[in-house]
């Protein structure tokens, strides 16, 4: 009896420790980044740092606003391309495709997820950049090129997560819909899509996370120019590439400012997560019962 | 269960003993810093440790700034830098120059322009000259490709060519010599600078003030775009480190430096 109690106690605490471990890691990283960034915020001023237009470490100018815009533009454009494509693909695979096609499609999409980002970057640099230069002018290093690469990179994430969401819609819903005489497309559009929406939102958020955090591929094709872009065919620098480009050389305040860039990135991602949670909760209730 | 634990702990203990023992027998030299010097340092150390089994040399990148920092704070035994040190940085560091490297300005193979003055370069990179037409080339906008702030190649280029001017803000930034080369090779209106050691036939080097970027012209100082490769050591360095530095300066080391297209200094 006693022994069982001890066992129970140990297992309970053991699970608790493993569960809390990831939280500890997140907080350790967060505290470390904020501590390292603090001198930059104090000396340069947080708002000047966040909304400053000029980034020239040699003259002690550390404004990251252009890069915030850069990150947002690149991510947003990548989503515009990837979301419709991957949602349609997910519906096709889950609801329409015959098994034979599915067996072929699934591993292909998984392979897409397995390609290292440096390979995507190199492909972009040698193939996409010249193509964009030829057809749209400019140097070819642009928001458009970067988001094209990112769109391909986030496809597998959005497809597979939203596929799971579609799969988990109860079979009864579908049967009831067919029973009322709906066509396949009506069922997908009016029943399965709304029911799977919270999961699909999660999928898109994961895609945003991947896109906004991607560094290596973007460095190679975005041009990394610190400026507010005039069109989608202008080069930009994103927050992540700014850190990766200059970390090797940075000393003193410059070093702290790069950690400051990371803090801004953190804030953006937290805001995104809050929005995602809000959407998820709201739609979860709309569908009713809170069962989904 | 107990058996598995027993075996595991024996393995761990053996592993610890082994690593401690190997740590006693082997002397370590840590080298860190400029990614431009890194390939050369790697070649030197591989060659050096072939004959010295009890010395383990570890080469890391990180950039010239990191090389200077790690040498002055004693984090590494040798720091690598591809730019001259400021008076502030040089405080407790001994500088050993192992060679000089040329910086090549490259254009697309089809570009008819093949000779530029340093003044023209300055105007191109600062944005005063925007079209190849002004330099006797085709009527095409010049696409300037540069390296990131803090890069050794960039700071060398800036101090030799740009003096008081800045490289224009909307120049494309690439993060390595290799990607600058790729970018120039695929764009017939591009211009970029890269180290001589990494040159290939993908891009065409232009003459600077009429002088070809050859090893001879770099050694005799006629070719202006060049920078030093430095090994930095903390003032109280170990015997193993000084032996290694002596070997680098010997004829054996010099040969490796020459093979890497770096011009050794005496």
DSSP secondary structure string for all residues of A89-150: HHHIIIIIS-HHHHHHHHHHHHHHHHS-HHHHHHHIIIIIHHHHHHHH-S-S-SHHHHHHHH
Residues B87 and B108 in one domain: no
Expressed as residue numbers, the domain containing A144 is 47-288
Query: Is pLDDT above 60 for A155?
Result: yes
Nearest-CA distance A249 → chain B (Å)? 5
What separation in angstroms does the CA of B66 have from each of B39, B63, B125? 16, 5, 27
Q: How many domains does chain A have?
A: 1
Please check whether residue A122 lies inside any domain of the structure: yes
Measured between CB atoms, does A135 come within 8 Å of chain B? no
Token representation of residue B108 = 């697309």
A70 inside 8 A of chain B by CB: no
What's the pLDDT at A1? 62
Looking at the complex, report in whole angstroms how far the Cα of residue B61 sits from the nearest Cα belonging to chain A: 8
**Partner-chain contact B175 A56, CB within 8 Å:** no
Query: Is residue A12 situated within a structural domain?
Result: no
Structural domain boundaries, residue B83: 2-100+229-264
Task: Yes or no: say if B34 and B81 are a contact pair by the CB < 8 Å rule.
Answer: yes
CB spacing of B65 vs A126 below 8 angstroms: no
pTM: 0.76
Nearest neighbour of A125 by CB, restricted to B61, B151, B182: B182
How do beta strands B263-264 and B93-108 pair? antiparallel
Residues B108 and B222 in one domain: yes
Does residue A120 fall inside a structural domain? Answer: yes
Contact B172, A223 (CB under 8 A): yes
Same domain, B117 and B134: yes
CB A60 within 8 A of CB A277: no
Per-residue pLDDT tens over the stretch A215-243: 999 999 999 999 889 889 999 999 999 99
Task: Report the alpha-carbon distance of residue A218 to residue A224 in Å, rounded.
Answer: 9
User: For A139, which of B169, B172, B182 is closest by C-beta distance?
Assistant: B172
pLDDT value, residue A291: 43
CB A161 within 8 A of CB A203: yes
- Residue A157 within a domain: yes
Number of domains in chain B: 2
Residue B27, pLDDT score: 80
Q: Packing angle between helix A252-287 and helix A2-44, nearest 10 degrees? A: 120
Q: B107 and B70 share a domain?
A: no
- pLDDT tens for the 266 residues of chain B, in order: 667 777 777 888 877 777 666 656 678 888 988 877 888 899 899 888 888 888 888 888 777 888 888 888 888 889 998 888 888 788 788 888 888 888 999 999 998 988 999 999 999 999 899 899 988 888 889 999 999 887 778 888 888 888 888 888 889 999 888 889 988 998 889 999 998 877 888 899 999 998 988 888 888 888 888 888 999 998 777 788 888 888 888 888 888 888 888 888 76
Q: What's the CATH number where A233 sits? A: 1.10.3720.10
Q: B136 and B88, same structural domain?
A: no
How far B168 CA lies from chain A's nearest CA (Å)? 10
**A56 inside 8 A of chain B by CB:** yes
Radius of gyration of chain A (CA): 23
Residues of B in contact with A67 (CB under 8 A): none
Residues of chain B whose beta carbon is less than 8 angstroms from a beta carbon of chain A are 35, 61-66, 69, 143, 148-151, 166, 169-175, 179, 182-183, 186-187, 190
For residue B62, list chain A residues with Cβ-Cβ distance below 8 A: 248
A291 touching chain B per CB within 8 A: no
Can you give the CATH number for the domain in which B14 is found? 3.40.190.10
A38 touches chain B (CB under 8 A): no
Q: What does the pLDDT read at residue B20? A: 65
Whether B106 and B218 map to the same domain: the answer is: yes
A241-286 pLDDT per residue, tens: 999 988 877 777 888 999 999 999 999 988 888 887 887 777 654 4
A 208-237 residues inside an 8 A Cβ radius of B:
219-220, 223-227, 235, 237
Q: Which residues pair with B203 in a beta bridge?
A: B108
Q: Are residues B37 and B145 in the same domain?
A: no
- Pick the residue of B187, B192, B203 with the most A CBs within 10 A to test the interface with A by mutation: B187
A238 located within any domain:
yes
């Amino acid at each position: 009896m006693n022994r069982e109690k001890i066992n129970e106690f140990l297992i309970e605490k053991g699970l608790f420790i493993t569960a809390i471990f990831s939280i500890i890691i997140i907080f350790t990283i967060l505290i470390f980044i904020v501590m390292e960034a603090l001198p930059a915020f104090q000396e340069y001023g947080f708002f000047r740092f966040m909304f400053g237009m000029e980034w020239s470490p040699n003259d002690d100018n550390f404004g990251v606003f252009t890069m915030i815009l850069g990150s947002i533009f690149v991510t947003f454009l990548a989503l515009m391309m990837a979301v419709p494509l991957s949602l349609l693909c997910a519906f096709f695979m889950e609801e329409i495709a015959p098994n034979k096609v599915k067996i072929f499609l699934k591993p292909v999409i998984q392979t897409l997820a397995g390609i290292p980002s440096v390979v995507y970057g190199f492909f972009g640099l040698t193939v996409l950049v010249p193509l964009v230069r030829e057809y749209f002018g400019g140097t070819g290093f642009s928001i458009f090129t970067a988001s094209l690469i990112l769109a391909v990179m986030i496809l597998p994430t959005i497809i597979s997560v939203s596929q799971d969401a579609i799969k988990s819609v109860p079979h009864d819903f579908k049967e009831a819909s067919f029973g009322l005489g709906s066509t396949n497309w009506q069922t997908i559009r009016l029943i399965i899509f709304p029911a799977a929406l919270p999961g699909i939102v999660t999928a898109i958020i994961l895609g945003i996370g991947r896109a906004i955090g991607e560094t290596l591929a973007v460095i190679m094709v975005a041009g990394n120019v610190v400026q507010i872009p005039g069109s989608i065919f202008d080069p930009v620098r994103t927050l992540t590439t700014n850190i990766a480009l200059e970390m090797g050389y940075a000393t003193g305040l410059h070093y702290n400012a790069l950690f400051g860039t990371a803090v801004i990135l953190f804030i953006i991602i937290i805001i995104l997560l809050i929005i995602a949670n809000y959407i998820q909760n709201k739609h979860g209730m709309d569908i009713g019962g809170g069962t989904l | 269960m107990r058996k598995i634990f027993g075996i595991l702990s024996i393995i761990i203990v053996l592993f610890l003993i082994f690593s401690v023992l190997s740590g006693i027998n082997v002397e370590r030299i840590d080298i860190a810093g400029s990614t431009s010097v890194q390939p050369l340092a790697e070649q030197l150390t591989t060659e050096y440790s072939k004959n010295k089994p009890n010395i383990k040399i570890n080469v890391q990148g990180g950039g010239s700034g990191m090389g200077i920092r790690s040498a002055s704070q004693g984090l590494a035994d040798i720091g690598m830098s591809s730019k001259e040190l400021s008076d502030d940085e040089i405080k407790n560091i001994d500088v050993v120059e192992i060679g000089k490297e040329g910086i090549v300005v490259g254009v697309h193979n089809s570009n008819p322009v093949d000779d530029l003055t340093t003044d023209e370069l300055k105007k191109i990179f600062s944005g005063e000259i925007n079209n190849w037409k002004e330099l006797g080339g085709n009527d095409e906008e010049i696409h300037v490709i540069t390296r990131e702030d803090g890069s050794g190649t960039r700071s060398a280029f800036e101090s030799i060519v740009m003096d008081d001017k800045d490289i224009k803000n909307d120049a494309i930034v690439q993060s390595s010599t290799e990607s600058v080369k790729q970018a120039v090779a695929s764009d017939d209106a591009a211009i970029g600078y890269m180290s001589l050691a990494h040159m290939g036939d993908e891009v065409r080097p232009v003459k600077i003030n009429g002088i070809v970027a050859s090893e001879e012209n770099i050694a005799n100082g006629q070719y202006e775009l060049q920078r030093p490769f430095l090994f930095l050591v903390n003032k109280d360095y170990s015997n193993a480190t000084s032996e290694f530095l002596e070997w680098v300066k010997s004829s054996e080391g010099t040969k490796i430096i020459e093979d890497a297209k770096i011009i050794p200094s005496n």
